[in-house]
């Protein structure tokens, strides 16, 4: 058929088809044969012939799938909806699975609880699965045993104990899984056992107070996004309190100025030690830890007086504090019904007062709602009391570690040792499992089936994304075996869902289809109705009385708090979490006693000097903003059992806690500081605390911003006029990537740092190397103090590679290993880098990281690995993202704007024949940020969110006066000081 | 030829032409003494320890050093710049002073040139070993390759590669060309056959014919012409490593002249340190006279004063620029945590050479020796101050950090001393420390023997 007579029979055929995969100009590379080319070919041919002939290559067998499973496409990630739950951390996640290995957790954007982001701990949890310290098979007295043998022995002994009436105690952390709860109740019934939930840091005081005030022991929902004024007394709600990821998102919504209405919340934080939340406050009021009760009473009485409610006279907090509290009181009164008062102390008396304040202000039912109450934090002291006071016949521990984290550690240890039968159902060895006769290991949560009802009526599914790594069995399956029930656990959950939730919906009419739909979505939300609670103020008087009995003391009070990364004691096993510096002190790998600068001066204590506090020997850290008579110490450190030597860091501060009136207290008075003369080198990653007056973080106040949206950012315009160059401006055709960071929304939680670690295979270097400023993080969160050392204001700034269009690093590299892409990315060719570190020296932002030693095992030289955290053993290496090169010793690396994600999304769009959508493409840091502070996108698209943010008068570039022309913009921090 | 009575003789003690040959060749012919063996042993042990530490660094990585994310270059680049500086005196003396027809250079140029070459070898080591991936260091050369990769000609570090290698090559050539007539002389005096053969080979069969001399002279002049600009360019380019960057304290246009004068300053100091000892040890006091020392001291005053002015200009410019980062960088140098290094530098480099205005001190060998050591220390600290104090507190205070060398870095530095002195010890035993032919060429006009006899009329010199 001739060319002219070619008919087309469908319309698409008329269009010539372009081969999308062949970039234009590719053909031109093939040049005609010349003498030069002949020599090239000849040389290559000879060399390859010589190489092939002389080298004996090892035989490597690659066996393809005979029948390929449907879900697995090599090189392509699959995502499964699941959930993470541990203590106070909950996240609906999508598990990214590559070639059968979960490698990354991403927030499930359809979740009603955590759609925006995840916490750092969730990000890091993927590493917990690949932990070589896990129990790998069942044990009896330290010797391995068959599952069947262990089961039959335990069942027989449980039966005997049950028959003889000796108590069988089952300890679990708070269980939020409806199916597991049901299962446990069956176990309790079958063996006449007692089930106790135990939390390392409990909130039973809150539940008790709510029972007294509202007649329900539920912990309500707090709506920070509805609160115009927040008064928090020592409550770290952005870091560790109750549901921080959720609250961060809500809080950040009210720090957003993009819509232009300037409707910022006003945040007062009254606290002794500097917390993450306190460092974000508009006004942080420094107060002693043991004044909290008096502060709450003062707030309550002042408000009561204004509202005409009778008030009881009480000793007032110090004058300086009271004066500032009056400001808060005025704001609270101005925002009745739209305010929120919270307190971070587990003392029920305090919480009763907090409840009365919120009730007076009309917040209950508005910013505090009982519609979807929280199901976690059900633990209390009763179980431990029972363990200590009755001679239990059997103790079954399931992921709880009271020997480590309860003040009565020694007694608990004795009681477990004395019990005739002790069984551990945990996956990781710890201080408690070490005492148990039987250890029946459970796999990690990414290998398990489960469900979770974190909030009433919001039920999620956990599904396995990895075949069980070791000879382990999920604890629920163990219990099923003991119940002689041979249904499989997944089927149990499935039938529970069919019975409980299938009838509550109308979308699906087949339970099987409903189940599959739920697996896809990961979450089921039942409809809910507003719940109104009554209020009973009878207890207030009694609580006030209790508080009036507290006396201010002259000695030191130790305040124990949960660290945002390490948590209650799970973190030390996770090198990623250990290596991320604390967002306030910027110390990694350690806990320490924070003391105020005044006390440090008076006693001649410097950072790292070891001090003695009662029985505790701990290095001191001088913390600006710390109350003089309060010493703050992070919990969760000092784990010894089941941790490799290299990861044992810090000291265990749990023994300092006390139990008062049946409630655990984490603030204890009566301490003296004595210097021991010792010194410990801490891994402090930021030694200098002040900006030295440089315009690095630019800030202003809300009032000024309302007058002039560029307030505090006047320099930007001035500098813009100075940007002149002799060179022609480079034109970026297609995309030009950029990032905008809203400093007003960033709370500093470090989730981005951990997400980046996971995504980009960032090596872990250990405490010693971190102390030598050899840390490898591609993104860091700088923290500066402003003002006096007693009441400093805190600013933060996430800093990653700024992808400068006029990059100082690029022109100094002798081998052109770092260069600029046609889309404005500053890129690193690791293969080309020879490690002169010139780029690093010349980077004004100091974001480049050098592989000082063989941290990853990618180096060609043998026997030189530096891996203090076992991150290069085969099991841990399963975490690696195969899309990102693992860097060898001696090369520079840095933030790539997640170029692998850019490439992937661009290809997807190309294959689908469409343009890339704004927001479709998110680097790992943006994706994890619970506060939505990071926005990434195409600067060539004038309608993209990032372009609009760059146009915001608040936008500036870091060190823009250097004419480096960064692609990252920062939006000024605006404090609400009105 | 009339010689001004103001000029003091360059060769003391009634030395005839044959005395010159005998005196200079004495160490080559004689068996080395115990001191020489002791010196060689100590320096070669140091060298081996240094090499072992270099091996250790390559094996385990730069992490064995004290440098960190903020301070990417520490002792390694400090030492590099310092050694390159030391390596300036030889070529300066032989090339620039040759062009300026300074006769006094003839007694010292040989040793100074050898020192230059050894110092540049030591210097050249550092940019290599400070690389994270030394085995791939060849990437820095613009060689054609199948991946069509090319080097970055914008990078001062690449300019360094060319500058240093050219300088080493030209210095080596210049030195060796100057050696040829002397090698011929040695060959003629050697009694053992194999030594004769070796020196004959090394001297390229030098016969001392008029044609040989004619070619040798013009070659020397051409090489001097080539080497003279190199003396100025090498340290200029080394200074570009810093001057073209954006780091406050580095980003300074004054650097090229400041570095060159600093280099000559430190080079002369090192020549003095070595020559004051060598002349005693090899019994060459009559050839390297107090007059020589004084001349060199004059160069030291000149270059030292330029360096001093440069320091003060830097401070002024930091203030005058109005840039807060610049101002802070210099405040921090003088008053920050590394102030001690700054004040060592200031004392040794600015204050101490000014003492040389006093003629008595200028002609005092002990004083000059001590002063030369001070200047060497001061110049090392100058480089340390530039490299480390500029980096350790740059733009973002969040990244500020401190630097302390590790044992490995110290050992590598000492190892380069080992290398330097090992080569120097070998040099003084196998090659003439003083350029015999060149000294002879000025003997008639500057040796006491010929000047001291007023009755003997000056004969027209053959040149």
A446-495 tens-digit pLDDT: 999 999 999 998 999 999 988 888 899 999 999 999 998 888 899 999 99
Residue with tokens 């704001």: A331
The answer for residues whose C-beta is within 8 angstroms of residue A25's C-beta and 6 or more apart is none
Give the C-alpha separation, A884 to A346, whole Å. Answer: 45
- The stretch A632-645 carries a mean pLDDT of 89
Q: B324, A694: Cβ pair inside 8 Å? A: yes
**Residue whose C-alpha is closest to residue A742's, from A978, A954, A960, A976:** A954
Q: Using CA atoms, how far apart are residues A175 and A376, in angstroms rounded to an integer?
A: 7
* Closest-approach residue (CA) in chain B for A695: B396
A354 in Cβ contact with A343 (< 8 Å):
yes
Q: Give the whole-angstrom CA distance, residue A279 versus residue A697.
A: 15
On the question of pLDDT at A65 being above 80, the answer is no
Q: Give which of A704, A691, A785, A624 is closest to A975, Cα–Cα.
A: A704
Q: What is the pLDDT of residue A36?
A: 67
What are the structure tokens assigned to A570, written together? 């799970």
A 10 A CB-CB count for A486 gives 7
User: Does residue A289 have a pLDDT over 80?
Assistant: yes
User: Contact, A171 vs A398, CB < 8 A?
Assistant: yes
pLDDT at A23 over 80: no
How far, rounded to the nearest angstrom, does the alpha carbon of residue A6 sit from its chain's CA centroid? 62
B155–A813 C-beta distance less than 8 A: yes
Determine contact, residues A629/A288, Cβ cutoff 8 Å: yes
Nearest to A704 by CA among A716, A712, A695: A712
CA-based end-to-end distance of chain A? 82
Which phi and psi angles does B54 have, rounded to 5°? -65, -45
**Residue boundaries of the structural domains of chain B:** 17-141+150-451
Nearest CA in chain B to A815: B151
Buried b (16+ CB within 10 A) or exposed e, B56-70: bbbebbbbbbbbbbb
Mean pLDDT of A834-860: 93
Measured from the Cβ of residue A99, the count of other Cβ atoms closer than 10 Å reads 14
**Average pLDDT value over all residues in chain B:** 89
**Structure tokens given for B306:** 């330029």
- Structure confidence at residue A87 (pLDDT): 72
DSSP per residue over A140-183, as a string? ETTEE--HHHHHHHHHHHHHHHHHHT--EEEEES----HHHHHH
Enumerate the residues of chain A whose CB falls inside 8 A of the CB of residue B158: 814
Asked whether A635 and A709 are in contact (CB, 8 A), the reply is: no
| Contact yes or no for A812 and B155 at CB 8 A | yes
pLDDT at A131: 87
CA distance B138 to chain A (A): 9
- The verdict on A970 touching B (C-beta cutoff 8 Å) is no
Percent of residues, chain A, with pLDDT higher than 90: 69
Q: Please write the tens of the pLDDT for every residue from A540-549.
A: 888 988 888 8
Q: Round to whole Å and give the CA distance between A117 and A751.
A: 8
Interface of B with A in 362-401 (CB under 8 A): 391, 393-401
- Work out the average pLDDT over A874-896: 93
A positions 711-770 inside 8 Å of B (CB): 769
Angle between helices B255-281 and B290-321 (to 10 degrees): 160
pLDDT along chain B (463 residues), means of 10: 71 82 86 90 96 94 94 93 89 82 84 91 92 91 88 93 91 90 91 92 91 91 87 91 93 92 92 90 86 90 94 93 92 93 93 92 92 94 94 93 94 95 92 88 78 50 39
Q: Is B205 exposed, middle or buried, given 0-12, 13-18 or 19+ CB atoms closer than 10 A?
A: exposed
Which residue in chain A is spatially nearest to B393 when comparing CA positions? A688
Across the range A297-308, mean pLDDT stands at 90
B141 in A contact zone (CB under 8 Å):
no
Rounded to whole angstroms, the Cα distance separating A125 from A415 reads: 32
Q: What pLDDT is stored for residue B147 in this prediction?
A: 84
Q: Write out chain B residues lying below 8 Å of A773, CB-based.
A: 68-70, 401
What residues contact residue A351 under an 8 Å CB cut-off, 6+ apart? Answer: A205, A206, A208, A209, A210, A213, A343, A345
User: Could you report the per-residue pLDDT of A724-771, keeping only the tens digit for each?
Assistant: 888 888 889 989 999 999 999 999 999 999 999 999 999 999 999 999
pLDDT given for residue A59 in this prediction? 60
Residue A121: how many other CB atoms lie within 10 Å:
30
Residues B398, A854: C-beta atoms closer than 8 Å = no
Give the chain B residue nearest A841 (alpha carbons). B72
pLDDT greater than 90 at residue A804: yes
Best of B66, B69, B81 to mutate (most A CBs within 10 Å, chain A): B69
Q: Distance (Å, rounded) from C-alpha A879 to C-alpha A95?
A: 12
Q: Average pLDDT of A714-718?
A: 93
For residue range B264-284, list pLDDT tens digits in order.
999 999 999 999 998 888 888
Sequence-separated (6 or more) residues with CB below 8 Å from residue A607: A619, A620, A621, A622, A682, A684
For residue B226 the two structure tokens come to 């080539």
Q: What is the pLDDT of residues A113-140, one digit of tens each?
A: 888 899 999 999 999 889 888 899 999 9
Tens digits of per-residue pLDDT, B29-75? Answer: 888 889 999 999 999 999 999 999 999 999 999 999 999 999 999 99
In DSSP notation, B358-408 reads SHHHHT-HHHHHHHHHHHHHHHHHHHHIIIIIHHHT-S-GGG-------HH
Confidence of residue A26 (pLDDT cuts 50, 70, 90): very low
B61 in A contact zone (CB under 8 Å): yes
Q: Is A840 on the interface with B (CB under 8 A)?
A: yes
Of the pLDDT bands very low, low, confident and very high (cuts 50, 70, 90), residue A1 is very low
pLDDT tens-digit readout, A570-607: 777 889 999 999 999 999 989 999 999 999 999 999 99
What residues of A are in contact with residue B397 (Cβ under 8 Å)? 688-692, 694, 696, 784
B331 touches chain A (CB under 8 A): no
Give how far Cα A794 sits from Cα of A585, A595, A625, A800, B217, Å. 11, 17, 10, 20, 73
Given a contact cutoff of 8 angstroms between Cβ atoms, the answer to whether A544 and A299 are in contact is: no
Shortest CA distance to B203 belongs to which of B192, B190, B191?
B190
pLDDT at A314: 78
Alpha-carbon distance B119 to B88, whole Å?
A: 9
Average pLDDT, chain A: 89
| A369-391 confidence digits (pLDDT tens) | 998 999 999 998 999 999 999 88
Rounded to whole angstroms, the Cα distance separating A164 from A702 reads 70
Kindly report the nearest CA distance between residue A719 and chain B, in angstroms.
Answer: 13
- For A939, the token pair is 């600067």
- Of all residues in chain B, the one with the smallest CA distance to A888 is B133
Q: Distance from B162 to chain A by nearest Cα, in Å? A: 12
CB atoms A816 and B151 under 8 Å: yes
Band the pLDDT of A203: cuts 50, 70, 90. very high
A88, A244 in Cβ contact below 8 A? yes
Minimal Cα–Cα distance from B319 to chain A, Å?
16
Which residues contact residue A5 at a Cβ distance below 8 angstroms, ignoring those fewer than 6 apart? none
CATH topology for B17-141+150-451 is: Formate dehydrogenase/DMSO reductase fold (1.20.1630)
Task: Pick the residue from chain B with its C-alpha nearest to A777.
Answer: B69
**pLDDT per residue over A659-698, tens digit each?**
988 899 999 999 999 999 999 999 999 988 899 889 999 9
């Amino acid at each position: 058929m001739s060319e002219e007579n070619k008919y087309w029979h469908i319309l698409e055929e008329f269009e010539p088809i372009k081969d999308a995969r062949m970039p234009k100009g590719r053909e031109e590379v093939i040049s005609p044969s010349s003498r030069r080319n002949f020599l090239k070919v000849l040389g290559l041919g000879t060399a390859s012939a010589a190489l092939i002939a002389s080298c004996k290559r090892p035989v490597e067998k690659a066996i393809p799938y005979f029948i390929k499973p449907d879900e697995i496409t090599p090189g392509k990630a699959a995502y499964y909806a699941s959930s993470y739950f541990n203590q106070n951390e909950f996240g609906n996640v999508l598990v990214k699975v590559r070639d059968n290995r979960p490698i990354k957790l991403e927030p499930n954007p359809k979740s009603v609880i955590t759609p925006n982001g995840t916490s750092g701990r969730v990000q890091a949890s993927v590493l917990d699965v690949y932990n070589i310290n896990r129990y790998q098979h069942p044990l009896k007295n330290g010797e391995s045993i068959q599952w069947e043998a262990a089961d039959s022995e335990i069942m027989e002994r449980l039966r005997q104990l049950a028959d003889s009436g000796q108590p069988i105690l089952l300890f679990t952390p708070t269980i939020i899984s409806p199916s597991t709860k049901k299962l446990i109740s069956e176990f309790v019934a079958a063996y006449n056992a007692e089930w106790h939930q135990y939390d390392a840091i409990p909130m039973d005081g809150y539940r008790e107070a709510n029972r007294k005030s509202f007649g329900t022991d539920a912990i309500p929902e707090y709506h920070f996004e509805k609160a115009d004024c927040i008064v928090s007394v020592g409550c770290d709600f952005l870091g560790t309190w109750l549901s921080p990821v959720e609250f961060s998102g809500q809080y950040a919504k009210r720090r957003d100025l993009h819509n232009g209405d300037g409707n910022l919340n006003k945040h007062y934080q009254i606290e002794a030690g500097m917390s993450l939340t306190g460092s974000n406050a508009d006004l942080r009021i420094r107060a002693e830890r043991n004044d909290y009760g008096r502060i709450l009473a003062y707030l309550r009485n002042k408000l009561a007086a204004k509202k005409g409610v009778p008030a009881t006279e009480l000793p007032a907090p110090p004058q300086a504090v009271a004066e500032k509290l009056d400001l808060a009181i005025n704001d609270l009164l101005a925002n009745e019904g739209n305010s929120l008062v919270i307190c971070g102390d587990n003392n029920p008396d305090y919480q009763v007062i907090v409840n009365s304040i919120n009730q007076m202000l009309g917040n209950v039912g508005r910013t505090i709602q009982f519609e979807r109450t929280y199901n976690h934090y059900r633990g209390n002291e009763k179980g431990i009391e029972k363990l200590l006071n009755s001679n239990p016949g059997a103790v079954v521990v399931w992921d709880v570690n009271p020997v480590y984290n309860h003040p009565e550690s020694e007694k608990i240890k004795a009681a477990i040792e004395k019990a005739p039968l002790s069984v551990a159902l945990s996956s990781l060895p710890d201080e408690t499992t070490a005492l148990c006769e039987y250890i029946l290991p459970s796999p990690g949560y990414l290998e398990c089936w489960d469900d979770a009802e974190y909030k009433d009526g919001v039920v999620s599914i956990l599904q396995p994304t990895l075949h069980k790594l070791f000879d382990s069995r999920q604890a629920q399956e163990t219990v099923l075996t003991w119940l002689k029930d041979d249904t499989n656990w997944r089927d149990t959950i499935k039938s529970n869902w069919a019975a409980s939730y299938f009838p509550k919906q109308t979308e699906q009419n087949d339970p099987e289809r409903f189940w599959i739909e739920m697996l896809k979505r990961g979450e089921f939300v039942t409809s809910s109705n507003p719940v109104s609670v009554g209020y009973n103020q009878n207890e207030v008087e009694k609580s006030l009385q209790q508080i009036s009995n507290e006396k201010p003391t002259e000695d030191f009070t130790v305040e124990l708090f949960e660290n945002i990364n390490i948590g209650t004691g799970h973190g030390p096993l996770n090198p990623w979490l250990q290596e991320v510096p604390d967002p306030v002190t910027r110390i990694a790998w350690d806990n320490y006693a924070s003391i105020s600068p005044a006390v440090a001066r008076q006693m001649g204590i410097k950072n790292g000097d070891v001090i003695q506090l009662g029985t505790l020997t701990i290095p001191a850290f001088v913390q600006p903003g710390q109350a003089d008579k309060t010493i703050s110490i992070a919990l969760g450190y000092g784990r010894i059992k089941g941790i490799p030597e290299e990861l044992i860091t810090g000291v265990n501060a749990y023994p300092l806690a006390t139990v008062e009136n049946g409630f655990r207290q984490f603030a204890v008075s009566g301490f003296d500081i004595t210097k021991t003369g010792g010194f410990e080198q801490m891994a402090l990653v930021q030694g200098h605390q002040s900006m030295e007056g440089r315009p690095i973080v630019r800030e202003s106040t809300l009032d000024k911003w309302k007058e002039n949206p560029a307030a505090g950012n006047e320099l930007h315009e001035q500098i813009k006029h100075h940007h002149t160059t002799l060179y022609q401006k480079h034109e970026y055709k297609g995309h030009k990537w950029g990032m905008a960071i809203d400093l007003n929304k960033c709370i500093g939680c470090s989730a981005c740092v951990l997400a980046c670690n996971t995504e980009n295979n960032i090596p872990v270097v250990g405490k010693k190397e971190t102390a030598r400023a050899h840390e490898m993080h591609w993104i860091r969160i700088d923290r500066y103090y402003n003002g006096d050392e007693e009441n400093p204001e805190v600013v933060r700034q996430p800093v990653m590679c700024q992808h400068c269009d006029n990059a100082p690093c690029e022109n100094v590299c002798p081998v052109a290993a770092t260069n600029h892409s046609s889309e404005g990315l500053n890129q690193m060719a690791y293969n080309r880098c020879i490690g002169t570190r010139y780029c690093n020296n010349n980077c004004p932002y100091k974001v480049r990281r050098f592989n000082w030693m063989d941290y990853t095992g990618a180096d060609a030289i043998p026997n030189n690995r530096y891996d203090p955290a076992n991150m290069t053993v085969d099991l841990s290496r399963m975490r690696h993202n195969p899309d990102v090169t693992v860097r060898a010793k001696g090369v520079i690396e840095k933030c790539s704007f997640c170029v692998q994600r850019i490439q992937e999304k661009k290809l997807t769009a190309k294959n689908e024949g469409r343009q890339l959508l704004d927001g479709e493409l998110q680097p790992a840091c943006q994706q994890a940020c619970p506060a939505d502070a990071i926005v990434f996108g195409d600067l060539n698209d004038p309608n993209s969110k990032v372009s609009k943010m760059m146009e915001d008068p608040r936008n500036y570039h870091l060190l823009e006066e250097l004419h480096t022309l960064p692609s990252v913009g920062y939006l000024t921090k605006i404090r609400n000081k009105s | 030829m009339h010689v001004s009575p103001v000029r003091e003789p360059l060769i003391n003690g009634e030395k005839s032409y044959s005395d010159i040959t005998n005196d200079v060749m004495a160490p080559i012919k004689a068996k080395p003494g115990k001191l020489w063996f002791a010196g060689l042993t100590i320096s070669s042990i140091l060298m081996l320890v240094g090499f072992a530490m270099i091996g250790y660094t390559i094996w385990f990585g730069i992490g064995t050093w004290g440098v960190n994310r903020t301070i990417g270059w520490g002792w390694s680049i400090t030492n590099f710049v310092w050694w390159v500086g030391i390596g300036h005196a030889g070529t300066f003396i032989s090339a620039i002073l040759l062009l300026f027809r300074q006769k006094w250079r003839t007694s010292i140029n040989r040793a100074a040139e050898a020192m230059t070459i050894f110092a540049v070898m030591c210097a050249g080591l550092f940019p290599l070993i400070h690389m994270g991936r030394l085995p791939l260091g060849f990437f820095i050369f613009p060689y054609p390759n199948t991946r069509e990769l090319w080097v970055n000609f914008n990078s001062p570090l690449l300019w360094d590669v060319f500058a240093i290698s050219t300088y080493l090559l030209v210095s080596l050539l210049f030195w060796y060309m100057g050696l040829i007539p002397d090698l011929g002389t040695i060959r003629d005096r050697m009694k053992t056959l194999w030594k004769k053969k070796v020196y004959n080979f090394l001297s390229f069969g030098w016969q001392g014919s008029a044609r040989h001399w004619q070619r040798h002279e013009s070659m020397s002049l051409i090489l001097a012409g080539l080497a003279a600009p190199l003396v100025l360019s090498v340290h200029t380019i080394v200074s570009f490593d810093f001057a073209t960057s954006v780091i406050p304290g580095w980003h300074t246009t004054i650097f090229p002249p400041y570095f060159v004068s600093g280099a000559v300053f430190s080079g002369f100091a090192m020549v003095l340190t070595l020559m004051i000892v060598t002349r005693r040890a090899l019994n060459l006091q009559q050839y390297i006279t107090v007059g020589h020392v004084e001349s060199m001291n004059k160069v030291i005053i000149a270059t030292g004063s330029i360096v001093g002015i440069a320091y003060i200009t830097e401070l002024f410019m930091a203030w005058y620029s109005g840039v807060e980062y610049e101002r802070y960088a210099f405040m921090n140098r003088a008053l920050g945590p590394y102030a001690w290094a700054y004040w060592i530098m200031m004392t040794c480099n600015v204050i101490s050479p000014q003492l040389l205005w006093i003629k008595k001190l200028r002609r005092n060998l002990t004083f000059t020796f001590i002063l030369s050591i001070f200047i060497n220390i001061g110049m090392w600290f100058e480089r340390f101050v530039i490299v480390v104090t500029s980096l350790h507190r740059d733009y973002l205070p969040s990244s500020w950090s401190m630097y302390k060398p590790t044992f490995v870095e110290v050992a590598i530095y000492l190892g380069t001393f080992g290398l330097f002195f090992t080569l120097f010890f070998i040099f003084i035993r196998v090659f003439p420390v003083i350029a015999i032919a060149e000294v002879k060429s000025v003997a008639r006009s500057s040796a006491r023997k010929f000047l001291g006899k007023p009755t003997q009329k000056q004969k027209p010199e053959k040149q």
